[in-house]
Amino acid sequence: MPNLREFSLVTFNLYNLNLAGHSMYRDYDGWSDEQYENKITWTSYMLHLLQPDIFGFQELWHEDALKEAFERAGLTASYDILCPSHHDGNKIICAGAVKKGLLEGEPEWLETFPEKFILKSAGDDPQTPDISVQISSFSRPVLHFKVKLREDREAVSVFVAHLKSKAPTAIYREGWYRDDYDYYKNHSETLGYTLSTIRRSAEAAALRMIILDKLKHTDLPVIVLGDLNNSQLSDTLNIMTGQPRYLQGLSSGGGDADLYTVATLQEYRSLRDVYYTHIFQNIRESLDHILVSQEFYDNSRKRIWAFDGMEIYNDHLADENHKDTGTNDHGIVKATFKYSPA
């Protein structure tokens, strides 16, 4: 049984990792042979460079492509790759990889929201109109698995998520849009952004409910890895984390149901915040996150693991054409924790 003194984990957006020639979205040709080769070469290099105990991946289309990257990196014998069997490029999922000997039980992919998930209200004052949002599943199935880091401690629940992107939802195919095209064509971007925001918020709330059912009144360690498509102080992250209070100095506390962003934990160790994992229209943002429960928070009375540092690999974001270079359009986040019970 493992008795780690330290462990590391990585969230890694694979930028549509699929076999060559397989269609993706409305790109019916997919990657060319040359583009695929460049992509596998770069991905395998990063896998070999990082080598954490736990990988969380987003944007995987085909399990064979991920397995080939691990084989090229010389890591096939070192990791259990977590991917639905016969995942053959027909849809995009979250995946994972765990160093041999750490995985406990079988991974699962969560597609539907909790049965009791409801977004409906008559308003909280007389001036507020009714609202109702009908949504029941994640855009990308959430991966959930458990790892046993130490024989004398509970297994850690790990969730790998990819929430709805900020890109505006395409509404040009909707009947109501076509019926009044001359009007709605001027508002398609506004309404599309709004729909994406609502969907992403609903996904964050649904995942929060799933995690809360595990965290509330327990000492179960939980980690969330993923492309959450919003910054650490956004509404999306506030929903996910519960907006915990970060203590300073010798203070101690910790929240039973709170999640703490590794980016904030790093800021307490730094003199300046210069972290980013994505560039869009020259705006640099951190969209990729590692969230941890109080068992990984330095100031928690129930701390088991102490934060040791975060690294972001983002130099490749300067590439102008990720398709040709084989690089990804997101930075890669790595965090390390050391065994240090409070």
pLDDT at res. 248: 67
pLDDT at res. 164: 94
| Domain total in the chain | 1
Q: In 72-84, which positions are buried (b, 16+ CB within 10 angstroms) versus exposed (e)? A: bbebeeebebbbb
1 within domain boundaries:
no
pLDDT at res. 219: 82
Encode pLDDT of 55-93 as tens digits.
Answer: 999 999 999 999 999 999 999 999 999 999 888 878 999
30 within domain boundaries:
yes
Residue carrying structure tokens 């100095």? 249
CB 286 within 8 A of CB 233: no
Please state, in angstroms and rounded to a whole number, the distance separating the CA atoms of residues 187 and 334: 40
Rg (CA), the chain: 21
177 within domain boundaries:
yes
* Ranges under pLDDT 50 in the chain: none
pLDDT at res. 251: 66
pLDDT at res. 215: 75
pLDDT at res. 213: 87
pLDDT at res. 271: 67
- Residue-range definition of the domain harbouring residue 83: 6-339
54 within domain boundaries:
yes
Nearest-10 crossing angle of helices 33-50, 63-72: 60
Residue carrying structure tokens 């039980």? 105
172 within domain boundaries:
yes
Please state, in angstroms and rounded to a whole number, the distance separating the CA atoms of residues 338 and 171: 48
CATH number for the domain including 22? 3.60.10.10
What pTM did the predictor assign? 0.94
99 within domain boundaries:
yes
153 within domain boundaries:
yes
295 within domain boundaries:
yes
